[in-house]
Amino acid sequence: MLRSAPAPNMYSLILMDLRMPVMDGFEAAKIIKGSNACNIPIVALTGETSIENKNQCDEIGFDDYRTKPLKKPELKQLLLKLVPGWTDQDAAST
């Protein structure tokens, strides 16, 4: 069972694999998105390229959908798009 984070918005972005044991990424995202206290962007990551997967992610409310492997330029683009205040200079410090 998922528990609430100790502090709201402790994370800036969630990269969610869609195929996981016990609970898949679709179900986990539904729970996270269903929480009124959580507005963290969620990006779906998958090795599958089916339109059905993409449509299901859109219905659930994922903020973006990417196929694996996720390359550094794509990650940078996601951070710039989905994390308010993130800049290229932040990448140099990580």
Q: How far is CA 34 from CA 31, 60, 61, 86, in A?
A: 5, 10, 10, 25
Confidence band (pLDDT; 50, 70, 90) for 2?
very low
Residue 3 has φ and ψ, to the nearest 5°, of: -115, 160
Cα separation, 10 vs 94, whole angstroms: 17
Cα separation, 66 vs 64, whole angstroms: 7
Quote the pLDDT of residue 69.
95
Quote the pLDDT of residue 4.
47
Cα separation, 1 vs 40, whole angstroms: 19
Domains, in order of start, for the chain: 14-92 (3.40.50.2300)
Cα separation, 93 vs 65, whole angstroms: 26
The pTM of this model reads 0.80
pLDDT in tens, 28-65: 999 998 887 678 999 999 999 899 999 999 999 999 99
